[in-house]
Amino acid sequence: MIDFEPNETQRLVQQTARSFAQQHVLPEAAAIDREERFPFAQLKGLADLGLMAVNVSPELGGAGAGAVAYALAMMEVAKACASTAVTMAVTNMVGEVIAKFGTPAQAELYCPQLADGSFPAGAFALSEPEAGSDPGAMRTAARKVEGGWVIDGVKQWITSGAQAGVFVVWARTGGPGTGGISCFLVPGGAKGLSVGKHEDKMGLRGSNTSSLTFDGVAVPDDALLGDLGGGFKIAMMALDGGRIGISAQSIGIATAALEEAIAYAKDRKQFGKPIGDFQALQFMIADSRAELDASRLLCLRAATMKERGVPFSKEASMSKVYSTEAANRICNRAVQIHGGYGYIREFAAERHLRDVRVTTIYEGTSQVQRIVIARMALK
Ligand SMILES: Cc1cc2nc3c(=O)[nH]c(=O)nc-3n(C[C@H](O)[C@H](O)[C@H](O)COP(=O)(O)OP(=O)(O)OC[C@H]3O[C@@H](n4cnc5c(N)ncnc54)[C@H](O)[C@@H]3O)c2cc1C
């Protein structure tokens, strides 16, 4: 059984996120998008409220509020600005991974700085130019030397690559396949680590997406995160949680799009009456409303299961594939409801559609989510 009524902590986190997002993030969202401006000030504000490490324990500087509170906060921030939200999502994921798999020394070194905004962001460096849906094919390698490791290779599509204070980096330490992959913590600005050009994206234009080149990056033995050869498992576990975050992000974006479409449908008149009086538009709004609620329930179920410590991979994938695809439909309908005004920058509808598009692609495409769900269903 799942109780969908937020508890006191969850409600407080949700309200804190809502109030900050509406007052300090939303007013800047159009400019963040237009100017491709990394939202430093907004992220610092979120950090000051504990929202950059919602599910990290207070001993490590986090809010210790749990996975449900995190999902609720993500929905609020994404509703205001999807670029700020994805940066928050990856940073929360990095903090959680280090807290969960790191040694006490690793966690104490990095988690507080991610949580309090000393680092503008954290980064998760898994994908490569030739290894996206199939990260087991990665080529980045870590070579053992005395006292540590030397990393060589290229990572692609790294969110906050240019701003991160710490990178969680996957590299091959053994033979081919997923068993030969380990995970390392690399500080921002490490010698031999260079950040490639910022990608010119369709949406999420305030979020930085860069390639990374590791050219003989030397890290000490204690930079290894988790077990030698255990990196792939860490990546998959982190992505299970991350998918709840992206599901929540898509719900936030779609909530904004739907609310704005409803307001527009009440205001805009054609044929002498509000366009919301036409059944064709009412049906679009009805479908969007139902799909958004279904998305929310799937997302909160997955987050609740994570919080309870029960297996939640399948539920996280179900939540991600359903809500991101629904959010794409909802944002597309919102543009349609706005007519020509949906196609110009004066209204946010077009930004929502550009921002939401990637949610069915990153942290595992819709096709990959279906593979996960089907594999478990057929087991
Ligand atoms: C804006 C943005 C931010 C990102 N941030 C990060 C980040 O911070 N860290 C990080 O590590 N990565 C990040 N990524 C990478 C992202 O996770 C990958 O783009 C994604 O996993 C897909 O990999 P790919 O782009 O190589 O596509 P491919 O894997 O080449 O897929 C291409 C198409 O083939 C389909 N496909 C592939 N394999 C199968 C299969 N077995 N069955 C059916 N269909 C299949 C896919 O679903 C897709 O439709 C980001 C990407 C973007 C666009």
Q: What is the 3-state secondary structure (H, E, C) of the chain?
A: CCCCCCCHHHHHHHHHHHHHHHHHHHHHHHHHHHCCCCCHHHHHHHHHCCCCCCCCCHHHCCCCCCHHHHHHHHHHHHHHCHHHHHHHHHHHHHHHHHHHHCCHHHHHHHHHHHHCCCCCCEEEECCECCECCCHHHCCCEEEEECCEEEEEEEEEEEECCCCCCEEEEEEECCCCCHHHEEEEEEECCCCCEEEEEECCCCCCCCCCEEEEEEEEEEEEHHHEECCCCCHHHHHHHHHHHHHHHHHHHHHHHHHHHHHHHHHHHHHCEECCEEHHHCHHHHHHHHHHHHHHHHHHHHHHHHHHHHHHCCCCHHHHHHHHHHHHHHHHHHHHHHHHHCHHHHHCCCCCHHHHHHHHHHHHCCCCCHHHHHHHHHHHHCC
C-beta separation of 211 from 219 below 8 A: no
**What topology does CATH give the domain 8-120?**
Butyryl-Coa Dehydrogenase, subunit A; domain 1 (1.10.540)
Q: Which segments in the chain show pLDDT lower than 50?
A: none
- Nearest-atom number in ligand 1 for the CA of 155 is 11
1.20.140.10, 1.10.730.10, 1.10.620.20, 3.40.50.300: which CATH number matches 232-377?
A: 1.20.140.10
3.40.50.300, 1.10.10.350, 2.40.110.10, 3.90.550.10: which CATH number matches 123-229?
A: 2.40.110.10
Predicted pLDDT at 197:
87
Closest CA to 348 of 283, 212, 257, 258: 257
What is the distance in A from the centroid of ligand 1 to the CA of 115?
28
The Cα 4–Cα 11 span in angstroms is 11
Question: Over the range 30-54, which residues count as b (16 or more CB within 10 Å of their CB) and which as e?
Answer: eebbeeeebbeebbebbbebbbbbb
Predicted pLDDT at 2:
62
Domain boundaries, the chain: 8-120, 123-229, 232-377
Query: Is 76 assigned a catalytic role?
Result: no
- Nearest-atom number in ligand 1 for the CA of 207 is 1
Measured by CA distance, the residue closest to atom 12 of ligand 1 is: 127
* Ligand 1 first shell, C-beta below 6 A: 90, 124-127, 132-133, 157-159, 201, 204, 209, 358, 361-365, 367-368
Which of these is catalytic: 76, 128, 260, 363? Answer: 363
What is the distance in A from the centroid of ligand 1 to the CA of 367?
10
Predicted pLDDT at 50:
98
What is the distance in A from the centroid of ligand 1 to the CA of 92?
20
Measured by CA distance, the residue closest to atom 14 of ligand 1 is: 157
Predicted pLDDT at 311:
97
The Cα 24–Cα 18 span in angstroms is 10
Which residues are registered as beta bridge partners of 274?
269
The Cα 254–Cα 330 span in angstroms is 6
Name the residue of 91, 92, 93, 133 to mutate for ligand 1: max ligand atoms within 8 A of Cβ: 133
The Cα 275–Cα 281 span in angstroms is 7
